[in-house]
Structure 1
Amino acid sequence: MKIPKELITDALCFSSPEELLNVPNELTVEQFSLLYVDFHPEEAPESDPKQEITWVWDLMFHMCRKAPVLALECVVNASRQPITEFQASCISAGALEDIIADHGPDVIDRIEALANESARFRYMLSGVWPRGQDKAGEIWQRVLRAREPGPDMDQGAPVPPADL
Protein backbone atom coordinates (compact mmCIF):
# COMPACT_ATOMS: atom_id res chain seq x y z
CA MET A 1 0.00 0.00 0.00
CA LYS A 2 1.37 3.41 -0.97
CA ILE A 3 1.18 6.54 1.12
CA PRO A 4 -0.64 9.12 -1.02
CA LYS A 5 1.71 11.76 -2.44
CA GLU A 6 -0.76 14.51 -1.45
CA LEU A 7 -0.52 13.42 2.19
CA ILE A 8 3.28 13.55 2.04
CA THR A 9 3.24 16.96 0.35
CA ASP A 10 0.77 18.30 2.91
CA ALA A 11 2.76 16.98 5.85
CA LEU A 12 6.06 18.35 4.65
CA CYS A 13 4.93 21.76 3.40
CA PHE A 14 7.07 23.53 6.02
CA SER A 15 10.15 21.34 5.59
CA SER A 16 13.34 22.89 4.34
CA PRO A 17 14.51 22.11 0.78
CA GLU A 18 17.44 20.20 2.29
CA GLU A 19 15.11 17.96 4.28
CA LEU A 20 13.00 17.26 1.20
CA LEU A 21 16.02 15.91 -0.66
CA ASN A 22 15.86 12.84 1.60
CA VAL A 23 12.19 12.10 0.86
CA PRO A 24 11.57 9.36 -1.70
CA ASN A 25 9.25 10.14 -4.63
CA GLU A 26 7.09 7.15 -3.75
CA LEU A 27 6.68 5.65 -0.33
CA THR A 28 4.94 2.45 0.70
CA VAL A 29 3.66 1.73 4.20
CA GLU A 30 6.36 -0.93 4.50
CA GLN A 31 9.17 1.45 3.49
CA PHE A 32 7.88 4.20 5.75
CA SER A 33 7.53 1.83 8.70
CA LEU A 34 11.20 0.85 8.44
CA LEU A 35 12.18 4.52 8.37
CA TYR A 36 9.89 5.22 11.33
CA VAL A 37 11.58 2.50 13.40
CA ASP A 38 15.00 3.76 12.30
CA PHE A 39 14.07 7.33 13.32
CA HIS A 40 13.84 6.15 16.93
CA PRO A 41 17.22 5.24 18.42
CA GLU A 42 17.71 1.79 19.91
CA GLU A 43 18.40 3.33 23.32
CA ALA A 44 17.59 6.63 24.99
CA PRO A 45 19.77 9.12 23.12
CA GLU A 46 22.17 11.66 24.54
CA SER A 47 21.57 13.90 21.52
CA ASP A 48 18.87 14.79 19.00
CA PRO A 49 17.26 12.15 16.78
CA LYS A 50 18.61 11.44 13.34
CA GLN A 51 18.34 14.86 11.72
CA GLU A 52 18.47 13.62 8.15
CA ILE A 53 15.13 11.88 8.55
CA THR A 54 13.19 14.24 10.80
CA TRP A 55 10.67 14.44 7.96
CA VAL A 56 9.63 10.93 9.00
CA TRP A 57 8.33 12.28 12.31
CA ASP A 58 6.54 15.13 10.51
CA LEU A 59 4.80 12.71 8.18
CA MET A 60 3.73 10.35 10.97
CA PHE A 61 2.44 13.27 13.04
CA HIS A 62 0.39 14.45 10.05
CA MET A 63 -0.94 10.95 9.29
CA CYS A 64 -2.02 10.51 12.92
CA ARG A 65 -4.23 13.56 12.53
CA LYS A 66 -5.40 13.32 8.91
CA ALA A 67 -5.19 9.60 8.03
CA PRO A 68 -5.42 7.64 11.30
CA VAL A 69 -6.21 4.29 9.68
CA LEU A 70 -3.12 4.59 7.48
CA ALA A 71 -1.05 5.74 10.47
CA LEU A 72 -2.24 2.70 12.43
CA GLU A 73 -1.15 0.42 9.57
CA CYS A 74 2.29 2.06 9.70
CA VAL A 75 2.46 1.43 13.46
CA VAL A 76 1.39 -2.20 12.94
CA ASN A 77 4.03 -2.63 10.27
CA ALA A 78 6.65 -0.98 12.51
CA SER A 79 5.70 -3.40 15.30
CA ARG A 80 6.56 -6.31 12.98
CA GLN A 81 10.17 -5.12 12.72
CA PRO A 82 12.99 -5.98 15.08
CA ILE A 83 12.61 -3.26 17.73
CA THR A 84 14.12 -2.54 21.11
CA GLU A 85 12.15 -1.79 24.27
CA PHE A 86 13.01 1.90 23.88
CA GLN A 87 11.83 2.01 20.25
CA ALA A 88 8.61 0.21 21.21
CA SER A 89 7.97 2.72 23.99
CA CYS A 90 8.57 5.69 21.67
CA ILE A 91 6.18 4.34 19.04
CA SER A 92 3.57 3.42 21.65
CA ALA A 93 3.65 6.70 23.56
CA GLY A 94 3.88 8.63 20.31
CA ALA A 95 1.94 7.62 17.23
CA LEU A 96 -0.17 4.84 18.74
CA GLU A 97 -1.25 7.02 21.67
CA ASP A 98 -2.03 9.93 19.32
CA ILE A 99 -4.16 7.72 17.07
CA ILE A 100 -6.17 6.36 19.99
CA ALA A 101 -6.53 9.75 21.72
CA ASP A 102 -7.63 11.58 18.58
CA HIS A 103 -9.50 8.86 16.66
CA GLY A 104 -10.37 6.13 19.15
CA PRO A 105 -13.89 5.40 17.86
CA ASP A 106 -12.56 5.03 14.30
CA VAL A 107 -9.80 2.55 15.15
CA ILE A 108 -10.81 0.70 18.32
CA ASP A 109 -12.29 -2.32 16.51
CA ARG A 110 -9.06 -2.82 14.55
CA ILE A 111 -6.99 -2.31 17.70
CA GLU A 112 -8.98 -4.95 19.57
CA ALA A 113 -8.59 -7.40 16.68
CA LEU A 114 -4.83 -6.82 16.52
CA ALA A 115 -4.45 -7.19 20.29
CA ASN A 116 -6.47 -10.39 20.19
CA GLU A 117 -4.02 -12.00 17.78
CA SER A 118 -0.69 -10.47 18.80
CA ALA A 119 1.29 -10.40 22.05
CA ARG A 120 3.63 -7.87 20.38
CA PHE A 121 0.72 -5.53 19.67
CA ARG A 122 -0.59 -5.90 23.25
CA TYR A 123 2.91 -4.98 24.40
CA MET A 124 2.77 -1.88 22.21
CA LEU A 125 -0.66 -1.00 23.64
CA SER A 126 0.71 -1.24 27.17
CA GLY A 127 2.81 1.86 26.45
CA VAL A 128 -0.25 3.97 25.63
CA TRP A 129 -1.65 6.26 28.30
CA PRO A 130 -5.14 7.79 28.36
CA ARG A 131 -4.10 11.22 27.08
CA GLY A 132 -7.17 13.40 26.73
CA GLN A 133 -9.51 10.53 27.47
CA ASP A 134 -11.94 9.86 30.24
CA LYS A 135 -10.36 6.93 32.10
CA ALA A 136 -13.82 5.50 32.68
CA GLY A 137 -14.85 6.12 29.05
CA GLU A 138 -15.75 3.30 26.70
CA ILE A 139 -12.75 3.64 24.35
CA TRP A 140 -10.16 3.67 27.13
CA GLN A 141 -11.84 0.73 28.87
CA ARG A 142 -11.73 -1.21 25.60
CA VAL A 143 -8.02 -0.41 25.25
CA LEU A 144 -7.39 -1.68 28.79
CA ARG A 145 -9.30 -4.91 28.11
CA ALA A 146 -7.49 -5.43 24.81
CA ARG A 147 -4.04 -5.16 26.40
CA GLU A 148 -5.00 -6.98 29.63
CA PRO A 149 -3.47 -10.39 28.83
CA GLY A 150 -0.09 -8.67 28.50
CA PRO A 151 2.83 -8.55 28.23
CA ASP A 152 3.24 -5.09 29.75
CA MET A 153 6.23 -2.84 29.03
CA ASP A 154 5.52 -0.76 32.14
CA GLN A 155 5.97 -3.92 34.22
CA GLY A 156 9.39 -4.58 32.68
CA ALA A 157 8.37 -7.26 30.18
CA PRO A 158 10.76 -7.67 27.24
CA VAL A 159 9.59 -7.07 23.67
CA PRO A 160 7.85 -10.26 22.54
CA PRO A 161 8.69 -11.80 19.16
CA ALA A 162 6.93 -10.33 16.15
CA ASP A 163 3.74 -12.30 15.60
CA LEU A 164 1.56 -10.38 13.14
Structure 2
Amino acid sequence: MSDIPRSLVAQLLDVSPETLPAGDLPADRLAHHLLTYLRDTAADDPSEQALRTHPQAWAMALTDRLCADHPDTGLDLTLAALPLCDSPDDVAMLAAGPLEDLLATHGPALIDRIETLGPTTPRLRFALSGTWPDRINPLVWARVQAARDPGPDLDAGDPLPPA
Protein backbone atom coordinates (compact mmCIF):
# COMPACT_ATOMS: atom_id res chain seq x y z
CA MET A 1 0.00 0.00 0.00
CA SER A 2 1.18 3.48 -0.72
CA ASP A 3 1.18 6.26 1.80
CA ILE A 4 -2.11 7.93 2.69
CA PRO A 5 -2.10 11.51 1.40
CA ARG A 6 -1.79 14.12 4.13
CA SER A 7 -4.73 16.04 2.66
CA LEU A 8 -6.96 12.94 2.91
CA VAL A 9 -5.89 12.30 6.51
CA ALA A 10 -6.71 15.91 7.39
CA GLN A 11 -10.09 15.71 5.63
CA LEU A 12 -11.11 12.45 7.30
CA LEU A 13 -9.99 13.59 10.75
CA ASP A 14 -11.55 17.03 10.19
CA VAL A 15 -8.35 18.89 11.02
CA SER A 16 -6.21 21.41 9.20
CA PRO A 17 -3.34 19.80 7.25
CA GLU A 18 -0.97 22.20 9.00
CA THR A 19 -1.71 20.49 12.32
CA LEU A 20 -0.38 17.18 10.98
CA PRO A 21 3.24 16.09 10.69
CA ALA A 22 4.86 16.88 7.36
CA GLY A 23 4.40 14.41 4.53
CA ASP A 24 1.95 11.65 3.79
CA LEU A 25 1.09 8.98 6.37
CA PRO A 26 2.81 5.64 5.74
CA ALA A 27 0.26 2.81 5.91
CA ASP A 28 2.50 0.70 8.12
CA ARG A 29 2.75 3.56 10.64
CA LEU A 30 -1.04 3.90 10.76
CA ALA A 31 -1.31 0.10 11.09
CA HIS A 32 1.13 0.18 14.03
CA HIS A 33 -0.87 2.93 15.80
CA LEU A 34 -4.14 1.11 15.09
CA LEU A 35 -2.85 -2.13 16.61
CA THR A 36 -1.53 -0.25 19.65
CA TYR A 37 -4.95 1.28 20.16
CA LEU A 38 -6.77 -2.04 19.70
CA ARG A 39 -4.43 -3.87 22.10
CA ASP A 40 -4.64 -1.17 24.75
CA THR A 41 -8.43 -0.88 24.63
CA ALA A 42 -9.49 -4.49 23.93
CA ALA A 43 -10.86 -5.03 27.43
CA ASP A 44 -12.44 -1.58 27.75
CA ASP A 45 -16.10 -0.75 27.54
CA PRO A 46 -16.47 1.07 24.18
CA SER A 47 -18.43 3.84 25.87
CA GLU A 48 -15.55 4.69 28.21
CA GLN A 49 -13.96 8.11 27.94
CA ALA A 50 -10.53 6.41 27.77
CA LEU A 51 -11.35 5.09 24.31
CA ARG A 52 -11.74 8.65 23.06
CA THR A 53 -8.76 10.06 24.93
CA HIS A 54 -6.28 7.27 24.20
CA PRO A 55 -3.19 8.71 22.44
CA GLN A 56 -3.89 6.54 19.38
CA ALA A 57 -7.66 7.11 19.24
CA TRP A 58 -7.05 9.13 16.09
CA ALA A 59 -5.80 5.94 14.38
CA MET A 60 -9.09 4.15 15.06
CA ALA A 61 -11.10 7.19 13.95
CA LEU A 62 -9.08 7.43 10.74
CA THR A 63 -9.43 3.68 10.11
CA ASP A 64 -13.20 3.89 10.58
CA ARG A 65 -13.44 6.73 8.06
CA LEU A 66 -11.16 4.98 5.57
CA CYS A 67 -13.24 1.81 5.81
CA ALA A 68 -16.47 3.76 5.41
CA ASP A 69 -15.47 6.17 2.64
CA HIS A 70 -12.36 4.69 0.95
CA PRO A 71 -12.80 0.91 1.00
CA ASP A 72 -9.78 0.05 -1.14
CA THR A 73 -7.54 2.08 1.16
CA GLY A 74 -9.27 0.53 4.19
CA LEU A 75 -8.53 -2.95 2.84
CA ASP A 76 -4.94 -1.93 2.06
CA LEU A 77 -4.57 -0.73 5.65
CA THR A 78 -5.99 -4.00 7.01
CA LEU A 79 -3.57 -5.94 4.82
CA ALA A 80 -0.69 -3.76 6.07
CA ALA A 81 -1.69 -4.45 9.69
CA LEU A 82 -1.88 -8.25 9.37
CA PRO A 83 1.91 -8.82 9.20
CA LEU A 84 2.31 -6.65 12.32
CA CYS A 85 0.02 -8.88 14.37
CA ASP A 86 1.79 -10.69 17.21
CA SER A 87 -1.01 -13.04 18.18
CA PRO A 88 -4.32 -14.54 17.10
CA ASP A 89 -5.98 -11.95 19.38
CA ASP A 90 -4.48 -9.15 17.27
CA VAL A 91 -5.89 -10.74 14.11
CA ALA A 92 -9.27 -11.26 15.80
CA MET A 93 -9.52 -7.54 16.56
CA LEU A 94 -8.82 -6.66 12.93
CA ALA A 95 -11.26 -9.34 11.74
CA ALA A 96 -14.13 -8.24 13.99
CA GLY A 97 -13.42 -4.57 13.38
CA PRO A 98 -12.14 -3.09 10.12
CA LEU A 99 -12.30 -6.25 8.01
CA GLU A 100 -15.86 -7.13 8.99
CA ASP A 101 -16.93 -3.49 8.54
CA LEU A 102 -15.44 -3.48 5.04
CA LEU A 103 -17.19 -6.73 4.12
CA ALA A 104 -20.52 -5.51 5.51
CA THR A 105 -20.40 -2.13 3.83
CA HIS A 106 -18.38 -2.72 0.67
CA GLY A 107 -18.26 -6.49 0.26
CA PRO A 108 -19.46 -6.57 -3.36
CA ALA A 109 -16.79 -4.04 -4.36
CA LEU A 110 -13.96 -5.78 -2.47
CA ILE A 111 -14.67 -9.49 -2.77
CA ASP A 112 -12.80 -9.94 -6.07
CA ARG A 113 -9.61 -8.58 -4.46
CA ILE A 114 -10.10 -10.74 -1.40
CA GLU A 115 -10.59 -13.84 -3.52
CA THR A 116 -7.44 -13.02 -5.50
CA LEU A 117 -5.35 -12.46 -2.36
CA GLY A 118 -6.74 -15.37 -0.32
CA PRO A 119 -4.75 -18.23 -1.87
CA THR A 120 -1.39 -16.48 -1.29
CA THR A 121 -2.12 -14.70 2.00
CA PRO A 122 -2.59 -17.09 4.96
CA ARG A 123 -3.05 -14.24 7.44
CA LEU A 124 -5.89 -12.83 5.35
CA ARG A 125 -7.57 -16.24 5.28
CA PHE A 126 -7.00 -16.45 9.05
CA ALA A 127 -8.62 -13.02 9.52
CA LEU A 128 -11.53 -13.91 7.24
CA SER A 129 -12.26 -16.90 9.48
CA GLY A 130 -12.78 -14.43 12.33
CA THR A 131 -15.50 -12.46 10.56
CA TRP A 132 -19.16 -13.24 11.13
CA PRO A 133 -21.97 -13.19 8.57
CA ASP A 134 -24.54 -11.17 10.53
CA ARG A 135 -24.12 -7.92 8.56
CA ILE A 136 -22.59 -9.32 5.36
CA ASN A 137 -24.56 -9.87 2.16
CA PRO A 138 -25.21 -13.64 1.88
CA LEU A 139 -23.75 -13.80 -1.64
CA VAL A 140 -20.59 -12.03 -0.45
CA TRP A 141 -20.48 -14.27 2.62
CA ALA A 142 -20.49 -17.40 0.45
CA ARG A 143 -17.50 -16.03 -1.43
CA VAL A 144 -15.76 -15.08 1.84
CA GLN A 145 -16.14 -18.65 3.04
CA ALA A 146 -14.65 -19.97 -0.19
CA ALA A 147 -11.78 -17.43 -0.03
CA ARG A 148 -10.80 -18.46 3.48
CA ASP A 149 -10.55 -22.17 2.67
CA PRO A 150 -8.39 -24.20 3.29
CA GLY A 151 -7.72 -22.26 6.50
CA PRO A 152 -6.12 -21.66 8.93
CA ASP A 153 -9.10 -20.99 11.17
CA LEU A 154 -9.05 -18.34 13.89
CA ASP A 155 -12.25 -19.53 15.55
CA ALA A 156 -10.88 -23.11 15.71
CA GLY A 157 -7.88 -21.90 17.73
CA ASP A 158 -5.30 -22.44 15.00
CA PRO A 159 -1.94 -20.74 15.59
CA LEU A 160 -1.00 -17.46 13.96
CA PRO A 161 0.27 -18.18 10.44
CA PRO A 162 3.59 -16.68 9.36
CA ALA A 163 3.50 -13.15 7.95
Give the TM bin, normalised by the shorter chain.
0.7 to 0.9
Q: Residue 37 of structure 1 contacts residue 83 of structure 1 at CA under 8 Å; is this kept in 2?
A: no
Pick the aligned partner of 1:133 from 128, 136, 142.
136
2:139 aligned partner, one-letter code: E
Question: Partners of 1:43 and 1:113 in 2: how far apart?
Answer: 32
User: CA offset at residue 160 of structure 1?
Assistant: 0.9
Question: Partners of 2:161 and 2:40 in 1: how far apart?
Answer: 16
**Match in the other structure for 1:38:** 36
Pick the aligned partner of 1:88 from 77, 87, 91.
91
Question: Partners of 2:54 and 2:41 in 1: how far apart?
Answer: 16
Question: Partners of 2:65 and 2:44 in 1: how far apart?
Answer: 26
Question: Partners of 1:127 and 1:139 in 2: how far apart?
Answer: 15
Please tell me whether residue 148 in structure 1 is matched to residue 146 in structure 2.
no
**Match in the other structure for 2:114:** 111
Give the structure with the higher percent helix.
2
Q: Residue 107 of structure 2 contacts residue 136 of structure 2 at CA under 8 Å; is this kept in 1?
A: no
Query: Structure 1 residues 57, 44: closer, same or farther in 2, change over 3 A?
Result: closer
Aligned positions, number: 155
Q: Mark the runs of 5 or more structure 1 residues left unpaired by the alignment.
A: none
Question: Partners of 2:158 and 2:81 in 1: how far apart?
Answer: 19
User: CA offset at residue 33 of structure 1?
Assistant: 1.6
User: CA offset at residue 43 of structure 1?
Assistant: 9.1
Question: Partners of 2:160 and 2:41 in 1: how far apart?
Answer: 14
- Correspondences of 1:50-129 after superposition (within 5 Å): 51-129=54-132
Question: Partners of 2:86 and 2:35 in 1: how far apart?
Answer: 7
Q: Residue 103 of structure 2 contacts residue 136 of structure 2 at CA under 8 Å; is this kept in 1?
A: no
SS at match of 1:131: helix
Query: Structure 1 residues 59, 46: closer, same or farther in 2, change over 3 A?
Result: closer
In the superposition, the TM-score normalised over structure 1's length comes to: 0.83
1:144 aligned partner, one-letter code: Q
Aligned-pair RMSD on alpha carbons? 2.4
Query: Structure 1 residues 121, 42: closer, same or farther in 2, change over 3 A?
Result: farther
Query: Structure 1 residues 43, 152: closer, same or farther in 2, change over 3 A?
Result: farther
Q: Residue 42 of structure 1 contacts residue 84 of structure 1 at CA under 8 Å; is this kept in 2?
A: no
Residue-by-residue CA offset, 1:27-75 (whole Å, 9 max, x unaligned): 0112212222222217943685580110000000000011110110111
SS at match of 1:154: coil
Question: Partners of 2:114 and 2:72 in 1: how far apart?
Answer: 10
Q: Residue 64 of structure 1 contacts residue 99 of structure 1 at CA under 8 Å; is this kept in 2?
A: yes
SS at match of 1:41: helix
